[in-house]
Structure 1
């Protein structure tokens, strides 16, 4: 870039500063190293102070970079003072840097940092007569490599080899600065060891200045490595830290001879019962596995067919119990390796119930039933009736039989240690006797309103099964329910209340007859303007009757008093004299010429006949 019109002033200042340099000094402070990630912005500070003078009016700041491979040559990229700042043209930093300045320092900002930016940056401060000074910062650039890629050896590796064999390779590409690779066996670092472990590393500097690292692990495998996993880890620098990235884990195939075989029952889990499908699996510790042979030790050894090292026995019975053996051959030592297992097939025979099928008992009798089932294990027996437990153990005692005793009794035999084994048996108990009507000794009495339909229920037990008939004199009825079981009959009839009813239920069989009676007292209907309620209607009727009784009693008393005083004459053409001593109850009713069913007649009977008070008459009405 060409100097501006005041370039001569810059030159003069430079000459003067050199002449004063012997006694003036500027202290410049900069970071020794600065770290930044590739593509980020870097800010390099430059702080300065004047030791012997106050800050002069003119301070010249210049920034330089060290050229790569030039033997220490520099290139200026910026210069300026408090009044103007200039970025040099035709440099790697033209258009990528900015400089901010104040009275105590200068800040260089580099945009979009790239790998070539890793170099020394110089800050030069010139205070003219106040002296000059210089500082530098080494800018370090970091970029993490790609994730490590590991490849394991696909072929089997034999433990019989004397030298380490290649196990896996690992590569980490395009990192800066150069990354490092570490190998792990089951998350434990692997270090080189003579005759056991060898690590070969190749570092490549790519055309874009990035580093790629390849590492090969050579390892002497043993039988224990058959389940071992290998992985590699790349470590790399980032600003202010060291980070790592781990590869996936790889397994290798290890070849070794068979020294031990193991035979076990794979299914079912637990004990074996008849009908199960049994799988016996045999496995040797060699790799690749050597051929296996299954033998059943029963008299002459019997060789059995197997598939994929599994012997399948379908629908086993107790006859399949015995010792089973698995054999193989160790080719290295030419010796036989074997293992065996004892197979026991458990069983439970069908339950045998005595008495068998069904048994007839008379009421009041007792019966002992037994249930047994032969088993290879200890059994447990329970007796059930209608799903409810009624007995425990193989013996069931039925005492003092009633009709409730009748029914089917099921015995369940189980094996507690092997729930899959169970069997059942049953016996049907029939209790024979005369009909027995439910609640026959208790007459059912009820009060019902006239015109109401009433349901009467009758239930009878007995064997032979009784038949139920109804006798309801003077009333028609309809049977609305008829249900029968093996030991009971149930009938429900509907009858309309027109008057007092006596109903009889008769249960009859060849063994006898039993009867149950029902008594229905009819209650007359009462008309009311208010909505009818049985409880409220009865109360109103009672109150009205009591009031009428009281009023009529008062009226009769007044008439009698007036007659005794002679205030009321009695003629023969009207009514009889009330005071006539020989008057009877019936005569009074006739002379009053009232309906015998009216309330007045009832009340007069109470006053002139039975001499009853109002409360007594109320009780008679209730009857």
Structure 2
């Protein structure tokens, strides 16, 4: 005899009374069926028996229990072998419930003079497998009725129903848009059902990323239940409705020499793989993938570019492209040699696709304005650079350079100065010229060369050579300056150290000249300030004196009146006397 767990008993049994007064026992497939006898045991009971009825009504006895011997016997029925258990109160248990157990069972209690019977109807239920969407479409295409997939649920008893859902809402058949085909099959061995529902669906763009599911509704021991499948999302194909064109790099940064890539996009799914590209001035399109590249573009590539679908040329997109350019012409340029005092016009001409900035540099120092030479000086020599750029276009800049060389024949000026101690004299030979002249000192008459000299730095075509001498007699010194252009000679008479003579002023250098100019400006400013202060003081003094004179007149007038009054009083006194 098999032992039946209490948990199995609680889960498996549910008794329901039908309209005929019979009792129904609902059991889950594979559980234990428990059927109470539902008869009161009589006093003179001999034995109890269980049977079931075949479809033709004939009985098949399956279990017997004697009331006196307390023994249990099970009939030789193959389908119930080792599955039956009959308790002392005549409750029959059948383990491992099968679909074939759905029968009318009868409990029989037999006495010497009567037989009592109580029928029980057994119902077996099998929960189907979780429904699954199979044979799914790789994609759905708008405006076309297409099989979406099959929803399958297996091993159900009794058979169940399948329902389709879109985004959680039930799909109902709709002519030309939603077609649902349902079928069921029973396994002849297990008597379990497999349900299949095929969904044909006409999709729209609104179905993008929409989940589709299905469910199976079935009956179990405790009533109706539903199991849902996993979600399925489908790729929705739809035609292109709009074409767009892109330019790489960004349109506002294209310059001559760049490569332009045109990219055409369609908003369909899948997107078009090929397009027609139209270049400026070319009515016929060029068939290409979704990109088309132009290399090393020039300014004549500026214009409108278009692309369209191959099979629908009216669906077209266009964009305007400007190829930025920048031209710079410096005249003169390169290395230019001019003579001191010459005029040299310089022009830096710019041609650009938009306004460009221009910067002049001399020897890496920025100039405030463009250079202009009406009369060249040595300090005008240097390396000039004209540089221009388009700020909005990265990397678009040009520069040209001018290396100006200012040449001049040597110019000499000699000066002399006696040391305050009276023991020596300083003779200076000031020289201008380019290339730098070489200076040589000689003593006229003897022809001796003086080598002990001191030279200043060569700046802006100028420098000097200085000697210090203490002549015991009058001498004539000669300064010779020579460069590739010319040789220049100048002489200076120098008296003996014992003979006083007039000193000549030193040549003022450019730097000193600027200092002198600054000092002169300062002195002029001070003088003007003093004159203004004196003028203000004079005006104040004049106003003061004017007020003083006016006051003085008033006082004199008052004093005169007092004297007249005095004389009148004296005359009056005389008359009275």
Shared fold (TM-score, shorter chain, > 0.5): no
Higher alpha-carbon Rg = 2
What TM-score range do you get, normalising by the shorter chain?
Answer: 0.3 to 0.5
State the TM-score, normalizing by the size of structure 2: 0.44
